[in-house]
A and B are shown apart, each in its own frame.
Chain A
Amino acid sequence: QVQLQESGPGLVKPSETLSLTCTVSGGSVSSGSYYWSWIRQPPGKGLEWIGYIYYSGSTNYNPSLKSRVTISVDTSKNQFSLKLSSVTAADTAVYYCARGTGWGAAAGTVFDYWGQGTLVTVSS
C-alpha cells in the first residue's frame, strides 16, 4: 500500500520561502508510471493544484504560481519537495502531496494516493 507523508514547518513568515517534503513509502518515486504532485487547500475553500514532477526531474507548474514554485525530487531518499517563495497570507493552506497516474495527454493527473495533508500558516 502506497503511503505519502508531508513534513515541514507549520508556520512561515510573510515574504519567506515555504518548504515541504513528501516521503513516499510502499512505492518508488523512481517509477516511470507516476508523477508526483503538490496540491493545496486554503481553509474552507477548494483544491488548487500547484505542480508535479516526474522521476527524471521534469516538472509542470500551475501558471498562476509558476514564478514562485520549485518542485524537486530525491530518488535516493524516495522523497519529493516543494518550495514556494515570497509567501503571503493567501498562501495559508493545507498542503497535500499526491501520486498522479493516468495515460495519454492527462498522464500523471489522476490522483490516486494522497498524503494526510499539513497545515501551513503564513503569519508574522
Chain B
Amino acid sequence: SYVLTQPPSVSVAPGKTARITCGGNNIGSKSVHWYQQKPGQAPVLVIYYDSDRPSGIPERFSGSNSGNTATLTISRVEAGDEADYYCQVWDSSSDHSVVFGGGTKLTVL
C-alpha cells in the first residue's frame, strides 16, 4: 500500500515561513490535498490538487508537489495557524484507496 511520510512536528516563529513536507514514492505524479485540524475540531481543507486554495483560505497558504515530496507552505505564520496538518492522496495503484499522511503538529513559538 502507498505510504505518505510527514515530520511529526514543525516549529516556527510568528511572521516566519513554515514548510511542512509530505513524502511518497513518485508523489509528484499524484494530486495532493492538505487539511488543517485544530484541537477538538474537524479537519478543514486548505489546499487541493497540489496548489489550489478553497475560498476563504488565506493566500498565505500555498502548496507544491514534485518528485517524491509535496510541500505545504504557510507564509507570515500567525498564532492561529497552530494546528495539525495532514496530506492526502488517492492511491490509484493496487489498493484504489484514500491515503492520509501521519500528520504534522505545527507549533508557533
Residues of A within 8 A of B (CB): 37, 46-49, 60, 62-64, 96, 102, 104-106, 109-112, 114-117
Contacts and interface: CB of A to CB of B under 8 A. Distances in A.
For the complex of A and B, 5 pairs with smallest distance between CB atoms:
A49-B98, A106-B90, A114-B42, A47-B100, A109-B90
B90 A46 contact: no
B103 A47 contact: yes
Contacts of A111: 33, 35, 43, 45, 88
A116 B42 contact: yes
B33 A47 contact: no
Interface of B: 1, 31, 33, 35, 41-45, 48-49, 54, 86, 88-90, 92, 95-103
Contacts of B1: 63-64
Contacts of A46: 86, 100-103
A112 B45 contact: yes
16 contacts: A46-B100, A46-B101, A47-B88, A49-B98, A60-B96, A60-B97, A62-B98, A63-B95, A102-B31, A102-B48, A105-B92, A106-B31, A109-B98, A110-B49, A114-B43, A116-B41
A109 B103 CA distance: 18
Given A48-B100, A63-B1, A63-B95, 4 more contacts: A64-B1, A102-B48, A110-B33, A110-B49
